[in-house]
Structure 1
């Protein structure tokens, strides 16, 4: 990397940290005018170790246009410096909302930012490890981040919590399989938990979700679970006993693979994301024959890196970014061109809050990489820095306005 390359990275760093002088901003904008500037900047950032953990996204046209207007509306000297086109404004705005350090765009004058102040007393902490286990006899056990040990005993089974924080089922008497019944592991809003099924399959359960399964897993011809909400599965391979995840409108059938299913009852769609192996997604479709609606069963097969979306009796398959789709399992929110309602729905489940929209729902698409370990204030303030949306917190209610 030569001196000129390092200088470009320095300008970019100062742009991110809001420390660039007017001359440096002018130089950076001049660099961005070149046709190959965007690609060169990405290439340089990939080579630079200090910036290797910065995730870049190209923001939506609405935000780019807004930034452009802010640039040209500033005091007179800047009008001479910045003669940016809309395309250049987009290129100059590649930086994602960095919640961990609360970086704001340099082009938004600090004197005009109207970010909501959220006091520590009213701030809302993130979700935590927790769930409720309902046994076959109807009794319930509240699970938290307690130490490892035995949780319960059922016919032929020992249920415990291991050092990894997982609920583990261990078969201690195969002759008792016929006495087994259904168990349900459920998380409330603001909770997440991990489960190890009797066949060794691992399940990560997201907030406001439940998984129901028969404890005689290994005695049945098929391993079936019922899901409401979202879960990530790492299924132990068994060619003779398929693993089936049933949700409200679909079934996902596998032999042994890694995949994610998101099927909240209040969502408009159900998604299945494949990380490894292969899965078959069966669903009930609909078609019209003259004046009559005909319903029938259909099936599609996914390859790694693909996601199916079931909505209104139709299914679509697309190639997706696995890091984005599975971010919740690794403790992050990653949004890439997502509307505010979808973002707030995920936030509401994790922070156990109610979302109330006052007036029109804010428009625009948002992109960002946010740790789920942050208080809700840091996420809301970062979203507000786009100046497309504003928030007010009252108790566990978050009011959203344009």
Structure 2
């Protein structure tokens, strides 16, 4: 059983606006309305959406049923207010169960959060070294791809005939490339997660899910459109080169087109599309359901692949997020007067250290700071 699309639509609207759309909400049956309210009141809407975007509902439900047989009483006691909706909305039950599994997984990951993780379709997590060599093996033991250094390549010659997903998570301070089974190459920036099929299926769209930033060099295939789901924005192409930035803590989701053409849409107005041409950026702001277009220098948005960290009329508050991702540091700013100060600056993380970056910035706009390990505290 699939999660009802009208329920997902309401959840996505809440994720965008922070409020329940009464018009769409009233179209739901009472049980679905009550469930939406439970998620909303408990602050679980965004968490639910992330799992909906990343989960194989049928597979996870089967896993859930097996676990419920073994531990039914604890689960019912913990989620008694939700369990009664199982017959109507089994996907969300799976989500809640996955929250528990997610907590366990994350507690293990926190032991070393500076590792590249490959999550296989069976939930197994492989740790990838930036200079390592590994084979990627499916559930049935078939080799579907291989890692060579900072890139994974998936084979186009496998016997897989249904959608099977892998997911790769890139920590702060690192980048990584994935060559998909159709020949499309995805360059992933720091702090990004990509979910993608091990093998694209003939007759179906080529669809991937991005949280973070990535540059796509899409292999041309007129019969199978390539779609990037970047939270509330969707990018649809046949074959082209473009950059997508969709970090969950940013206020904007943007797409910059380098070559070809792309069609942009968002969940708030799925039928209203914007066509992007080379040299332009399409921006969707969380506070504005429309998509705005502007002409840009594409190098400013793609040179991160060469280690460049570029700021143009960026507020210090915006710069902090980018520096934290690029250098894998934590910056605490106790000088609130700096927040809105705008900077123009360029650094290369492969050449300049975070110490050199902070020194340069403090000369442009005087401030004092101290560095302790990977933590930077701006005092005044």
User: Shorter-chain TM-score: which interval?
Assistant: 0.5 to 0.7
| Residue 159 (structure 1) aligned with residue 145 (structure 2) | yes
Moved over 6 A (4+): none
Mapped to 1, the partners of 2:206 and 2:367 lie a distance apart of 45
Residue 117 (structure 2) aligned to one of 95, 116, 132 = 132
Q: Kindly provide the CA deviation profile for residues 6-57 of structure 1, in whole angstroms up to 9, marking residues without a partner as x.
A: xxxxxxxxxxxxxxxxxxxxxxxxxxxxxxxxxxxxxxxxxxxxxxxxxxxx
Q: Is 2:358 the partner of 1:380?
A: yes
User: What's the counterpart of residue 312 of structure 2?
Assistant: 336
SS class of match (1:385):
helix
Contact 2:309 2:326 in 1 (8 A): no
Give the aligned length.
Answer: 263
CA distance in 2, matches of 1:314, 1:391: 40
Please give the TM-score of this superposition, normalised by the length of structure 1: 0.61
Q: CA RMSD in A?
A: 2.1
CA gap of 1:339–1:369, structure 2 versus 1, over 3 A, is same
Q: Does 1:365 align with 2:345?
A: no
1:284 matched residue in structure 2 = 267
Structure 1 distance, partners of 2:133, 2:165, is 23
1:2-401 matches, cutoff 5 A: 131-153=116-138, 155=140, 157-162=143-148, 165-174=150-159, 176-178=160-162, 180-285=163-268, 297-311=271-285, 312=287, 313-362=289-338, 363-373=340-350, 374-401=352-379
Matched residue SS, 2:305 = helix
Tell me if structure 2 keeps the 8 A contact 1:133–1:185.
yes
Greater Rg by CA? 1
Distance 1:344 1:302 in 2: 29
Cα displacement string for residues 169-195 of structure 1 (whole angstroms, at most 9, x for unaligned residues): 113433x323x5111011112221100
Instruction: Describe the shift of the 1:230–1:220 C-alpha distance in structure 2 as closer, same or farther (beyond 3 A).
Output: farther
CA contact (8 A) 2:135 2:143 kept: no
Secondary structure at the aligned position of 2:264 is classed as strand
What 5-or-longer segments of structure 2 have no aligned partner?
1-113
- SS of 1:177's equivalent? coil
Give the secondary structure class of the aligned counterpart of 2:336: coil
Q: SS at the partner of 1:379? A: helix
The answer (yes or no) to whether the contact 2:242–2:255 under 8 Å persists in 1 is: yes
More helix per residue: 2
Gap change, CA 1:171 and 1:296, over 3 Å in 2: closer
Point out where structure 1 has 5 or more consecutive residues left out of the alignment: 1-128, 286-294
Instruction: Point out which structure has higher relative CO (alpha carbons under 8 A, 6+ apart).
Output: 1
Query: In 2, Cα distance between the equivalents of 1:277 and 1:157?
Result: 33
Counterparts of 2:238 and 2:282 in 1: how far apart (Å)?
18
Match of 2:27 in 1: none
User: Partners in 2 of 1:192 and 1:133 — Cα distance?
Assistant: 14
User: Structure 1 residue 161: deviation in Å?
Assistant: 1.6
> For residues 197 and 361 of structure 1, do their structure 2 counterparts lie closer, same or farther at Cα, with a shift above 3 Å needed?
farther
| Residue pair 1:131, 1:192 contacting (<8 A) in 2 also | no
Q: Residues 265-286 of structure 1, C-alpha deviation per residue, up to 9 Å, x if partnerless?
A: 111110100010000111134x
CA contact (8 A) 1:280 1:299 kept: yes
**Cα gap change, 1:246 to 1:366, in 2 (>3 Å):** same
> For residues 355 and 188 of structure 1, what CA distance do their matches in structure 2 show?
16
